[in-house]
Amino acid sequence: MAEPTQIRRLDQRPLKEAISTRGRSIIPGLTKDDVIKYFFGANAWISIVVLGLIMLSLYSQSIGFDPAEGFFGQNYRNLLVYRQAGLEFVDIIKKETSDLGQLSDYLSAVRLHELKRLLAEGKSAGKSEDQSLAEANTTLAAYDDYIGKLSSLGEGLDGIASNLSDTATATKEAIKEVQDKKAEKRLYLRSGKKDLADKVTYQEVDLTAAVQPFKAALPSLHDANAKFSADLANFLNQPPPALDAEMKSRLADFESRLRILIASIPAYQNQLETWNPNQPLPWYMGIVDFFFHTNWLTASAWQDYYGVVPLLVGSTLISIVALAIAVPLGVGAGIYINQIATPWEQNIVKPAIEFISAIPSVVLGFFGVAVLGEFLIQLSRWGLLPHFEQRLNILTAGILLAFMAVPTIFTLTEDAINNVPRAFKEASYALGANRLQTIWRIILPASLSGVISAVLLGFGRVIGETMVVLLCAGNSISIPPMSKGLMILFQPVHTMTGIIAQELGEAENGSIEWRALFMVGLLLFIISLIINFLAQRMVHRFKISIG
Amino acid sequence: MKKLLALSIAAALSICSVQADTKLVIKGSDTLGAKLVPQLAEAYKSSHPGISFSIAAEGSTTGIAAIIDGTADIGMASRRAFPAEVSAALANGRSLKPTIVAYDGIAVIVNAANSVSKLSKKQIEGIFTGEIKDWSEVGGKPGAISIYTRNTSSGTYSDFKGMAMSKKDYAGTAQKMAGNEEIASEVGKNANGVGYVGMAYLKASGVKAVAVDGVTPSISTVQNHSYPISRSTFYYTNGEPSGEAKAFLDYTIGSAGQKIVEEVGFAPLK
């Protein structure tokens, strides 16, 4: 009887054996076998090394190894200067006048309501739109004066604030300059150029002297506040020129709002008087500010803010919309193609869906701006969607991203269903279940873990996409008001990926803005990492035991 | 992006300088240095072989400082020198001589169907800072205003703040667009849109420029300074320009140069 090794075909030999038949060493100490093994091994590991390097560079560019030089340290100093230079002080006054602004906004909202009513009245009376607009504006003229009078009451405070903001900005610039000089000096010292470092001279800003103007302004602020309070109280006595009962009822709230504003003035005055530029800022504020501040504002002449909340909210809202559309489509298509479709359909649909992922995202972006956005506006004009005017919004971006996520979800879902043993299906039929019952009760639960990981990977695809959101999401930093309910879909937002693409080109290497953008990148990276990790864990969960 | 472009052009130009005899160093404003001056330099070189350019566009302040320190032949600026800069130059034994080379005007545009056709400067400030939220507050039909601005990497983003908004910050609801063309097309499609573009983009369909303080933006109103959101742009030189600097300056304000000025979207001198 022949030995088993002799009847093995040549191509069935183990790789190791196949290689070592001519095994002569080309590198001393290593067989050719070893060389090839290490070559393939290195190829596999290099991606992990690169991944590690990316993480390392993201970390060093954002948080940094030197806590004072990294983003959180710089942001902490940014906030500290805000306090020390007196910007905080001026913002207290600005907050007070913006409360007044909100009150006039309230009056304006009532005016808008009234205007719409007058226009509708004019329309039913058969007048032209321009004519009824002109007439309505004349009717509302007295009311406009009333709003104008209210707004002008803040002028005294505004004047003081405007003078003080010049002082504060000048101090801030001076502090910035000293900080820049210090950084320059450190850089020279680090690279051993002591002579150059000695040439960099600077004089520390005298913070006590710098805040003197604010302390000196307190008496005049006290007077201005007293006058503000008296003027507002006076204003209470002037009844608003209400046009009709409905408007009157809408304005009923106004008096109490005005009283609240008057009551808040002493608190503001107190805040100003107790304001202390030397009050220590807790060390963690640089971090807290990044994660919880609701404004991202750069290149401001006043104060820059780096809060990730609006970006995170924007990215999340778009992803939710995209997944809400892509999950039913992708999973549904996967089930249909795998379980129900004829081979003919399979041959058409499967390559077509997989082709979608080959479309460059910038092309989809252009499609979104030129066709989809326009189409959605048309739908709204036909009354099929609620009224909106901004064609770059969450919905436009979400639909396009859904389109991009469908191939990922479809392919992975189909794979997951393929992995369900045929015996499950046959057993189900044998028990008398029909096809739909089998799919719903047997196939889907058995492949659920795979489907969930497909959805998670689709989510990862969506949240990391840049070009489409840059072109179609509208890039507006304010967080859309949740009070609008589903109308929120038609609001523009900014995203984490979009802001990096938009602002990195202008940010100076190593500046706070540069590091803030890398911080956003790092956050995005961590989110993707978690999603992928969860997706991999999911595959092994919820598995009906197979086999 | 602009800066990068200008720097790369500067780098490309300086490579050419290997065989060139004279080299003109130009520094300053990125309003001028991003597009206009590199294009002028390209055109000038084709008619004057043997000259090379080094253009760095890092802001008007750097341009004026370069003349004070004598590190550039021409300083580009989109503002006049401050008194402190003038005296600093005198202290260094130099004098700052400005020459106006082009006018720059920014037009505020609204949808062509908007009933508002004029705004005061104060109203424009209110609209872009978000204090005015509805068109009815400035005499138009009711409709929530959608603001479209350039993004932060554009020089116009901060120029407009300086010229029309008392340096205040834009409203958070402002949508940041990559370029003039995008702003014009969004405003053209959005009945409640408002934005700003360079003078060269007013021909876009579906938009109209609003008169600011009663003056319609046009090349002539920008030239005679009656349009409020406009400014002059300068070449600064050390005393009266001479040699190649003078030749290039004369080329810029001459008819060939002014044609390029108009093509790039600035208002020519005449």
Which residues of A are less than 8 Å from B151 in CB distance? 475, 502-503
Q: Is residue B255 part of a domain?
A: yes
- The pair of structure tokens assigned to A62 is 């954002």
Domain identity same for B32 and B17: yes
Name which of B134, B168, B173 is nearest A108 (Cβ-Cβ).
B134
Report pLDDT for B2: 53
Name which of B4, B139, B175 is nearest A505 (Cβ-Cβ).
B4
Question: Which A residues in the span 451-470 are in contact with B, Cβ-Cβ below 8 Å?
Answer: 470
Q: Is residue B222 part of a domain?
A: yes
Q: Is residue B270 part of a domain?
A: no
Domain identity same for B224 and B146: yes
Q: Indicate the pLDDT class of residue B16, thresholds 50, 70 and 90.
A: very low
Report pLDDT for A307: 95
Whether residue A295 and residue B189 make contact (CB cut-off 8 A), yes or no, is no
Is residue A424 helix, strand or coil?
A: helix
Domain extent for B87: 2-103+232-264
Q: What is the pLDDT of residues A455-476, one digit of tens each?
A: 999 999 999 999 999 999 999 9
Q: Which residue of A has its CA nearest to B172?
A: A478
**Number of Cβ within a 10 Å radius of residue A403:** 21
Which residues of B are less than 8 Å from A494 in CB distance? 176
Report pLDDT for B19: 47
pTM of the model: 0.82
Residue A23 pLDDT > 80: no
* Mutation choice for A interface testing from B8, B152, B163 by most A CBs within 10 A: B152
Please tell me whether the interface predicted TM-score (ipTM) of this complex is above 0.95: no
Domain identity same for B154 and B177: yes
Residue A25 pLDDT > 70: no
Q: How far is CA A477 from CA A387, A485, B171, B185, in A?
A: 22, 19, 9, 21
Largest CA distance in chain A: 117
How far apart CA A235 and CA A256 sit, in angstroms, is 13
Residue A141 pLDDT > 70: yes
Strands (E), A227-342: 296-297, 305-306
Helical ranges in chain B per DSSP H: 2-16, 30-33, 36-47, 60-69, 83-91, 121-129, 155-164, 180-189, 219-223, 243-253, 255-264
- Mean pLDDT over B24-48 rounds to 88
Which residues of B are less than 8 Å from A502 in CB distance? 151-153, 176, 178
Name which of B142, B171, B174 is nearest A112 (Cβ-Cβ).
B142
Whether residue A295 and residue B153 make contact (CB cut-off 8 A), yes or no, is no
Domain identity same for B91 and B208: no
Whether residue A130 and residue B143 make contact (CB cut-off 8 A), yes or no, is no
Phi-psi region of B28 (alpha: psi -120 to 50; beta: other; left: phi over 0): left
CA atoms within 13 A on the CB side of A516: 29
- The pair of structure tokens assigned to B33 is 């240095």
Q: Give the burial class of A101: count Cβ atoms within 10 A of its Cβ; 0-12 exposed, 13-18 middle, 19 or more buried.
A: middle
Residue from B183, B106, B200 nearest B147 by CA: B183
Q: What is the pLDDT of residues B162-181, one digit of tens each?
A: 889 988 899 999 999 888 88
- The pair of structure tokens assigned to A496 is 């984490």
Determine contact, residues B109/B184, Cβ cutoff 8 Å: yes
Judge whether A407 is closer than 8 Å to chain B, CB to CB: no
Domain identity same for B108 and B57: no
Domain identity same for B161 and B182: yes
Residue A1 pLDDT > 50: no
Domain identity same for B75 and B114: no
Total of domains in chain B: 2
Q: Is residue B161 part of a domain?
A: yes
Judge whether B205 is closer than 8 Å to chain A, CB to CB: no
Higher per-residue pLDDT: B42 or B91: B42
Which residues of B are less than 8 Å from A141 in CB distance? none
Name which of B115, B169, B193 is nearest A133 (Cβ-Cβ).
B115
SS3 content of chain B, % helix, strand, coil (to 5): 40, 25, 35
Domain identity same for B86 and B157: no
Report pLDDT for A270: 93
State the angle between helix axes of A141-152 and A129-139 in degrees (0 to 180), rounded to the nearest 10.
50
State the angle between helix axes of B243-253 and B36-47 in degrees (0 to 180), rounded to the nearest 10.
110
- The pair of structure tokens assigned to A476 is 């507006």
Report pLDDT for A305: 93
- Mean pLDDT over A446-454 rounds to 90
Report pLDDT for A80: 92
Lowest mean pLDDT among A66-70, A140-144, A539-543, B112-116: A539-543
Report pLDDT for A2: 45
Residue from B72, B77, B80 nearest B55 by CA: B72
Q: Which residue of B has its CA nearest to A129?
A: B141
Tell me, rounded to whole angstroms, the distance of Cα A65 from its chain centroid: 26
Q: What is the CATH number of the domain that holds B195?
A: 3.40.190.10
Q: Indicate the pLDDT class of residue B18, thresholds 50, 70 and 90.
A: very low
Q: Which residue of A has its CA nearest to B169?
A: A300
Q: Is residue B150 part of a domain?
A: yes
Lowest mean pLDDT among A80-94, A174-188, A199-213, B18-32: B18-32
Domain identity same for B112 and B207: yes
Q: Indicate the pLDDT class of residue B257, thresholds 50, 70 and 90.
A: very high
Mean pLDDT for chain B overall: 86
- The pair of structure tokens assigned to A143 is 């009311």
Domain identity same for B195 and B249: no
Report pLDDT for A88: 93
* Mutation choice for B interface testing from A477, A479, A514 by most B CBs within 10 A: A477
Rounded to a whole number of angstroms, the distance from the CA of A141 to the nearest CA of chain B is 11
Judge whether A474 is closer than 8 Å to chain B, CB to CB: yes
How far apart CA A483 and CA B40 sit, in angstroms, is 53
Q: Is residue B167 part of a domain?
A: yes
Whether residue A112 and residue B131 make contact (CB cut-off 8 A), yes or no, is no
Residue A7 pLDDT > 70: no
Q: Is residue B269 part of a domain?
A: no
Which residues of B are less than 8 Å from A392 in CB distance? 175, 186
Rounded to a whole number of angstroms, the distance from the CA of B47 to the nearest CA of chain A is 34
Judge whether A116 is closer than 8 Å to chain B, CB to CB: yes
Amino acid at A189: L
Report pLDDT for A325: 96
- Mean pLDDT over A100-106 rounds to 91
- Mean pLDDT over A298-303 rounds to 88
- Mean pLDDT over A404-429 rounds to 92
Domain identity same for B225 and B246: no
Lowest mean pLDDT among A91-95, A203-207, A349-353: A203-207
How far apart CA A442 and CA A425 sit, in angstroms, is 7
Which residues of A are less than 8 Å from B190 in CB distance? 389-391
Provide, rounded to the nearest whole percent, the portion of chain B with pLDDT above 90: 46
Judge whether A298 is closer than 8 Å to chain B, CB to CB: yes
Domain identity same for B149 and B37: no
